[in-house]
Amino acid sequence: MAPDVSLAATPHRRLIAHFPWHVGFLVLTISALGVWNLASASRSAHAPVWISQSWWMGAGILVALGVALIDHRAFQRMAWVFYAVVLALLVLVHLKGRYVMGARRWLTFGPLNLQPSELAKIAVVLALAAFFAEDAERRREGYGLFGLIIPLGVTLLPAALILKQPDLGTALIVVAVGCTQLLFAKVRWVTLLILLVGALVGGAIAFRHLKDYQRNRIASFLNPEADAKGAGYHAQQSIIAIGSGQGTGKGWGQGTQTYLSFLPEQHTDFIFSVWAEEHGFLGCVLLLLLYFALLASAVDIAGAARDRFGHFVAIGVTSMLFWHVFINVGMVIGLLPVVGVTLPLMSYGGSSVVAIYAGMGLLANVGMRRFVN
Amino acid sequence: MPLIPPSAPGAAQKDWRPRLLWASGALLLSFLLLVGRLYHLQILRGEEFRGRAEENFVKEIRTPADRGLFFDRNRKLLVDSRPSYDVTLTPYFCGRGCDEVLDRVAALVQMGPDEVDRARAQLRAARKLEVFRPFTVKVDIGREELDRFLANQTDLPGADVLPVPHRNYRYGSLGGHLLGYMNEVGPDELKDLNKGLSQSASPQGPYLLGDYVGRRGLERRFENELRGVDGKERVPVDAKGRLKADADSLIPEDQRLVPSVPGDNVILSLDWRLQEYAEKIFPATAGVVVAMDARTGFLLALVDRPAPDPNKMSGRITAAELAAIHSDPLQPELFRAIQQHYHPGSTFKALTTIAALEEGVFHPETSIFCPGHFSMGRATWRCDKESGHGWVDFEHALGASCDVFFYEAGAKLGADAIAKWARRCGLGAPTGFDVAGEIPGVIPDAAWHDAHIPGGYQRGMAVNLAIGQGDVNVTPMQQLVFYAALATGTIWRPQVVTRIEDPDGKVLQTFEPEARGRLEIGKSTREVVMKGLLAAVNQPFGTAYGSRVKEFTVAGKTGTAQVVKIGVHRVKSENLPYFERDHAWFAAFAPAEDPEIVVVVLNEHSGFGSSNAAPTAVGLIKKYMELKAQDEAEHAGAPVAPAPAAAPAKAGPAGGAGGA
């Protein structure tokens, strides 16, 4: 019908009508709570990070709108190019990256600091979606072991580069997102079983190659009380902060664990503890409800997607959001070991904010085209 | 036309549905899991974590209680605390430059090499959060050093001065042994002290490493009373233990401060005017002057030489200075009045007199011819006077201190009888004085000699005992108690603390005179002893006749305790090496008719009691009488006299004290 929907120059009236406003509302609400929460978390710091976070949010909204307006089929074409560029950037990080606290995660372009691993999540989502869009159709009976070589490779290659930075959290997210997409592409039960066993064995081998601090974190997760001043310190202090929030919390700006720096990395990975300490169980349930609503909407969009590529993109973005929320909250409340995973829209960090907003833009993109043919 | 052909929608969507259902289920379950865990942490265990969060950031800073003060009987302040400054170093703030900062500090406040080493070791040992904790590198710096430090502080990151009250012994080594001193509590001692505290239900908190504790003397004896109860200041700190003054509001106002309770004050029976006077007139290098109220057993003055300065001992004395004290042959750390015993010499003749009369070997009228020596078997003992005293009775023998008279008595009595009466007079056992570490002295009977002397007991040994030589040993405090008993008939437990008062002056505890027993001797025996003691001071033949006074009557006895056996030739004591010279004793009381004050003087290695001990004792008694007259004039009309002096003595002077 419409001759040219692939260009954003002429936004289609029907597209705007189908824009998933509820997703936008949820994203903006969580973002606002995130800024408000950061303002409390950074009381003790010299730089009020909530201001720069707001700027990043603004930038994120622009990116999301831009992404939403371009027909996602254009992304399908560009998926592999984008993937290749991101891979190149990941390699570049290893060569020219900036060291921050023993890890090489940042690239500096003039005034801009870029974290290619954040882009890698999106790149993998797009590349796999592009792959499955065409390939999955040919394999109606499901994927066997050989069929998975390419999608697994697409996932594990950037994950391995990220793991070497080292950034265990992001690598895990990339793998989790890739695997989720893979599951949605229909995998044979036998293959699934083999993969599961393989993952366990691989995990065991990987554990032996983990950095000491990473291994300590896992050990201290299994027994946090044993080393309350060492590796288990973060986890322990986080749980104290959360528990001490009790039913309704200590109130905004009243969190002692937050203000007196007992929570390390309280602006980023442990931001949920700040929220939980100051707003209590009620606040936590409210925030989780917002995330749940967002994720449910995202699943809804994936289900209603018009085409395979859109479907797999939506699934990828949804799983990215889900794994971020689940792993972050899980680790902060002591259900999972401490790995560096941010809480989307709540944690401070420009690259992360922009990446999440870009993902949301993709989601909206798919959502608003569900009736377009 | 789209560049990429769209995939067929309908069939694909049908394919997704079961997987999306699975996914929605997993999503719901995951969130329920998170909410369930949050419910567990925040609702079920919320109270517990609230408490732990508070433990995290509320730091209790101890505000040390002011230690109790020492006063003399006239409320003269003897020991208090003065503001002083300690230099501390916080490893975190000097970082890698700590060694250099320490060197600079050491130069500014003059630290010895051992102090620097000690600080350096602490610097190295600081781990984890300890690096934020300041530790003391130098205690109690002087005014000048403080100025120098402050002028240079910008070059000394991590170094700080802390105001810390320091024990101030206002009169230095005067009364030093009695007052004692404080120093840092040891790790083992810490455990014992805190165990005791936890069992005693006292409100005092536990001792911490680095705390000072009463180490010797009354500081130790009254540690619990003097210590007080430390206060607490609850302040907010951040994760690194740093004070966050702006987070005050996180702690409720009524929970921020628990004030400290100062320790109780100790009121001594000493009259510091007498103490200072005794210090002034006592010529000895080493020795003891101790004066007691004969009617109560409370001490009036106690000079004990040499004594280290408690101010020094309570600070961080350098290893070199401590080594010098330990290796000093005069043993300045020894509290001679109760921790050292000496031959009583001729002062013991009063005891031999009692034994001889009570055992019936002599009569009050017994006279003996002194030819200047005494023989028994093949052995011969010389009298103090080589030419001999001629015919002497008790009065003359005690007054002129004739040895032969008492050799005779000793030979007739035997060691057991002498020992029996010595014990009955309170000798041979600790007097029960307030300060710990008292020794019992030695009162040797036959069994003692059998056990300790090769060859066992010989009769000749009793001859030596009778004049206070041989193996009999008494402490100056025992001597004092014995002569007080001769004066009043009561064997006192000597005391020096009359009251414990709280900081507002409310009396918490009063110490009453405490009699350990009575001197059970016949009236005639007492009269004989008294007559002899009066003769020693007041008769021309008396050994202390040179020290007599007109205004009141002094009764007393000189003594010379041999340290080295007299050789063939008598050598003037000035010509002997210091440690071979004899000790001079003088024990006296006055007024003889109604004794109020007893004084014992022991002048170590000074020669004869008459010339080197008696003048101090009599001078002190004179001063006592003067002060008494002066006080009475001042208090004329005032109904209440100073407490201990006015305390009713349980036992008055025994019998009619025989005048000269």
Q: State chain B's mean pLDDT as an integer.
A: 85
In chain B, residues with a C-beta closer than 8 Å to the C-beta of A306 are 6, 9
Return the structure tokens found at B117.
Answer: 């080493």
Better-predicted residue by pLDDT, B320 or A160:
A160
Task: Give yes or no for B6 touching A (CB within 8 A).
Answer: yes
Mutate to test the interface with B, among A244, A297, A333, A373 (most CBs of B within 10 A): A244
| pLDDT at residue number A220 | 63
> Cα distance from A42 to chain B (closest Cα, Å)?
14
Backbone angles phi, psi at B549, to 5 degrees: -125, 155
Mutate to test the interface with B, among A5, A183, A246 (most CBs of B within 10 A): A246
Lowest-confidence pick of A32-36, A225-229, B187-191, B613-617:
A225-229
Q: Is B160 exposed, middle or buried (0-12, 13-18, 19+ CB in 10 A)?
A: middle
In chain B, residues with a C-beta closer than 8 Å to the C-beta of A260 are 56-57, 236-239, 244, 247
Q: Of the candidates B524, B584, B153, which has an alpha carbon nearest to the alpha carbon of residue B364?
A: B524
CA quadruple B391, B394, B396, B397: dihedral sign: positive
Task: Give yes or no for A296 touching B (CB within 8 A).
Answer: yes
| pLDDT at residue number B477 | 97
pLDDT confidence tier of residue B565, bands split at 50, 70 and 90: low
Task: Give yes or no for B53 touching A (CB within 8 A).
Answer: yes
Which residue from B minimizes the CA distance to A141?
B15
Query: Which residues make Cβ contacts (< 8 Å) with residue B648, sequence separation at least 6?
Result: none
pLDDT > 50? residue B173: yes
CA quadruple A210, A212, A213, A219: dihedral sign: positive
**B49–A242 CB contact, under 8 Å:** yes
DSSP track, B483-532:
HHHHHHSEEEPPB-EEEEE-TTS-EEEEPPP-EEEE----HHHHHHHHHH
Task: Give yes or no for B242 touching A (CB within 8 A).
Answer: no
C-alpha distances in angstroms, A331 versus A172, A306, A339, B37?
Answer: 13, 36, 7, 11
**A311–B12 CB contact, under 8 Å:** yes
Contact assessment for residue B295 and residue B596, using Cβ atoms and an 8 Å cutoff: yes
In chain A, residues with a C-beta closer than 8 Å to the C-beta of B50 are 243-244, 246
DSSP track, B26-46:
HHHHHHHHHHHHHIIIIIISH
pLDDT tens-digit readout, A51-98: 888 999 999 999 999 998 888 788 888 999 999 999 999 998 888 777
Q: State chain A's mean pLDDT as an integer.
A: 83
pLDDT > 80? residue A252: yes
Task: Give yes or no for A10 touching B (CB within 8 A).
Answer: no
| pLDDT at residue number B599 | 97
pLDDT tens-digit readout, B306-326: 998 998 888 767 778 888 998
Better-predicted residue by pLDDT, B554 or B635:
B554
| pLDDT at residue number B438 | 93
Which residue from B minimizes the CA distance to A325?
B31
Backbone angles phi, psi at B542, to 5 degrees: -65, 145
pLDDT > 50? residue B654: no
**A335–B16 CB contact, under 8 Å:** no
State the Cα–Cα distance between residues B41 and B578, nearest whole angstrom: 80
**B50–A244 CB contact, under 8 Å:** yes
State the Cα–Cα distance between residues B325 and A12, nearest whole angstrom: 101
Q: Which of A359-368, B268-277, B575-584 has the highest mean pLDDT?
A: B268-277
| pLDDT at residue number B8 | 44
pLDDT > 80? residue A372: no
Lowest-confidence pick of A219-228, B296-305, B399-408, B452-461:
A219-228
Going along B113-178, which residue ranges are E strands?
Answer: 135-141, 159-169
Given A240, A245, A295, which is nearest B52 (Cβ)?
A240
Mutate to test the interface with A, among B3, B14, B34, B238 (most CBs of A within 10 A): B34
Average pLDDT over residues B548-552: 90
CA quadruple A34, A39, A45, A48: dihedral sign: positive
| pLDDT at residue number A86 | 93
Length of chain B: 660
pLDDT tens-digit readout, B505-533: 999 999 999 999 999 999 999 999 999 99
**B42–A242 CB contact, under 8 Å:** yes
Q: Which of residues 250-269 of B touch A (CB under 8 A)?
A: 250
In chain A, residues with a C-beta closer than 8 Å to the C-beta of B57 are 256-257, 260, 262
Better-predicted residue by pLDDT, B234 or A92:
A92
Single-letter amino acid, residue B533: L
Mutate to test the interface with A, among B7, B17, B42 (most CBs of A within 10 A): B42
Better-predicted residue by pLDDT, A261 or A13:
A261
State the Cα–Cα distance between residues B244 and B256, nearest whole angstrom: 14
pLDDT tens-digit readout, A314-323: 999 999 999 9
State the Cα–Cα distance between residues A159 and A86, nearest whole angstrom: 12
Average pLDDT over residues A28-42: 90
Which residue from B minimizes the CA distance to A286?
B35
Task: Give yes or no for A242 touching B (CB within 8 A).
Answer: yes
pLDDT > 70? residue B573: no
Better-predicted residue by pLDDT, B121 or A31:
A31
Mutate to test the interface with B, among A242, A290, A318 (most CBs of B within 10 A): A242
Q: Which of B179-193, B270-284, B372-386 has the highest mean pLDDT?
A: B270-284
SS3 B214: strand
| pLDDT at residue number B655 | 38
Average pLDDT over residues B73-93: 86
